[in-house]
């Protein structure tokens, strides 16, 4: 079990986001932990701006829904390693979408952009526990069966 600290961000009276630090391609980013998201998703623009080669991002020819639309182009990316604090998984395949609406909202609140959203595919698979009082996310080292 790995215990990973997080921060709770108050969104100007609009609720809260949980932000965690992640490491992708040996770079540090902030990511939103979202218990309502079915999948972990990365932002295509932020990936490209951080130097991830576009040829690593594969088009799926699938249209995704969510984030206020039902016609979003969807991509996939294999991460050699995906690190959240001391927790690590190798060869993780994740969705890549246009999360500019999320990052635009952050920009309007003078907040730095996020690389994406941590969703249920990791939270459920690795038996996540969220302790809001201690601001800790606990993930198992191995998948639950």
Task: Report the pLDDT value the prediction gives residue 95, as an integer from 0 to 100.
Answer: 93
**How many angstroms separate the CA atoms of 59 and 113, rounded?**
23
pLDDT at residue 142 in the model: 92
Residue spans of the domains in the chain: they are 2-139
pLDDT of residue 72: 65
CATH class of 2-139: mainly beta
Q: Please name the residue ranges forming H helices in the chain.
A: 44-49, 100-108, 120-125
CA–CA dist 99, 91 (Å, integer): 22
Distance of alpha carbon 20 from alpha carbon 3, whole angstroms: 12
Burial class, 104, CB count within 10 angstroms (exposed 0-12 / middle 13-18 / buried 19+): exposed
Per-residue pLDDT, 50: 87
What Cα–Cα distance (Å) separates residue 65 from each residue in 68, 102, 112, 123? Answer: 8, 15, 25, 20
What's the predicted TM-score (pTM) here? 0.84
pLDDT at residue 64, as a whole number: 55
Cβ partners under 8 Å of residue 76, min gap 6: 57, 58, 60, 93, 94, 95, 96
Residue 86: C-alpha distances to residues 70, 139, 141 (Å): 36, 10, 10
Q: For the chain, which ranges sit under pLDDT 50?
A: 67-70
The closest of 20, 7, 10, 16 to 122, measured between CA atoms, is 20
User: pLDDT per residue over 86-95, tens digit each?
Assistant: 999 999 999 9
Q: What is the pLDDT of residues 93-128, one digit of tens each?
A: 999 998 888 888 788 888 888 999 999 999 999 999
């Amino acid at each position: 079990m790995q215990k990973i600290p997080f921060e709770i961000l108050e969104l100007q009276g609009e609720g809260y986001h949980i932000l965690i630090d992640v490491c992708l391609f040996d770079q540090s980013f902030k990511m939103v932990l979202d218990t309502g998201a079915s999948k972990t998703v990365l932002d295509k623009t932020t990936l490209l701006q951080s130097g991830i080669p576009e040829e690593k991002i594969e088009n799926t020819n699938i249209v995704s829904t969510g984030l206020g639309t039902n016609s979003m182009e969807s991509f996939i990316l294999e991460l050699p390693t995906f690190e959240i604090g001391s927790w690590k998984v190798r060869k993780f395949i994740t969705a890549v979408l246009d999360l500019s609406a999320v990052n635009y909202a952050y920009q309007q609140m003078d907040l730095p952009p996020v690389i994406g959203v941590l969703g249920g595919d990791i939270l459920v698979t690795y038996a996540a526990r969220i302790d809001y009082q201690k601001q800790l996310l606990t993930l198992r080292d191995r998948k639950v069966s």
